[in-house]
């Protein structure tokens, strides 16, 4: 429970800071929430599990390019060998670079570097985990979103580039499906 409260506070504070830095024209902020399915590469016999993701984002258009800093609380789960549960909770900071197109319905394709700060992890069988607040992993993300008025639907895949979390390592890959809303913070001229 403490992780969820801390995650929400960190995400909210970071997004407000980023939003305050943007000028008052042609930018937005929004909230996302949804599910993710995570697995650990480099480990044998790992089953992916569904879990949750939630966060805030800001967006700014520069001509045909949109930049979106995302701050997401991601709860990842996997099972190794049918009886060992692995849990990893992170604060993911993603800076998405996207190309939106369309008028009323706006699809967008994007790529993003991702930095994941370990908030909590555990190998539920042995009790080992990452060093909270001191373990950072880097990933690459790609995806697509569609904006319908102020409602956004987002599908992204994040591929871990470095071992993260617990003894024995492993690179976490995560597929996220999210929905949320977007609100304008200035005029969209």
pLDDT digits (tens, 9 = 90+) for 93-126: 999 999 988 877 889 999 999 988 877 766 655 5
Q: Where do the H-state alpha helices sit in the chain?
A: 2-21
Question: Which segments of the chain have a pLDDT < 50?
Answer: 1-6, 8-9, 16-17, 19-24, 131-133, 165-167, 187-189
Please report whether residue 110 resides in a domain: yes
> Quick check: helix, strand or coil at residue 126?
coil
Taking only the tens place, the pLDDT of each residue in 157-169 is: 999 886 654 445 5
Please report whether residue 164 resides in a domain: yes
CATH number of 10's domain: 2.40.160.20
Please report whether residue 189 resides in a domain: no
Please report whether residue 94 resides in a domain: yes
Q: 37 and 50 in contact (C-beta within 8 Å)? A: yes
Q: 160 and 133 in contact (C-beta within 8 Å)? A: no
* Structural domain that includes position 49: 2-184
The domain tally of the chain equals 1
Would you list the DSSP string of 79-101? EETTTEEEEEEEEEEEEEEEEE-
């Amino acid at each position: 429970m403490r992780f969820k409260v801390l995650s929400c506070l960190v995400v909210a504070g970071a997004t407000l800071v980023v939003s305050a830095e943007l000028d008052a024209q042609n930018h937005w902020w929004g909230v996302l929430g949804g599910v993710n399915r995570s697995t650990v590469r480099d480990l044998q016999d790992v089953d992916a599990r569904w879990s949750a993701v939630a966060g805030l984002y800001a967006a700014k258009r520069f001509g045909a390019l949109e930049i979106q800093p995302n701050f997401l609380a991601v709860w990842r789960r996997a099972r190794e060998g049918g009886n060992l549960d692995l849990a990893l909770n992170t604060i993911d900071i993603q800076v998405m670079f996207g190309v939106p197109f369309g008028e009323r319905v706006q699809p967008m394709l994007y790529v993003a570097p991702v930095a994941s700060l370990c908030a909590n992890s555990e190998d539920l069988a042995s009790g080992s985990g990452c060093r909270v607040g001191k373990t950072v992993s880097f990933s690459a993300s790609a995806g697509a979103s569609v904006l319908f008025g102020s409602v956004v639907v987002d599908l992204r895949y994040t591929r871990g580039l470095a071992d993260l979390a617990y003894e024995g390592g492993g690179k976490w890959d995560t597929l996220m499906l999210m929905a949320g809303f977007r609100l304008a913070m200035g005029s969209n001229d």
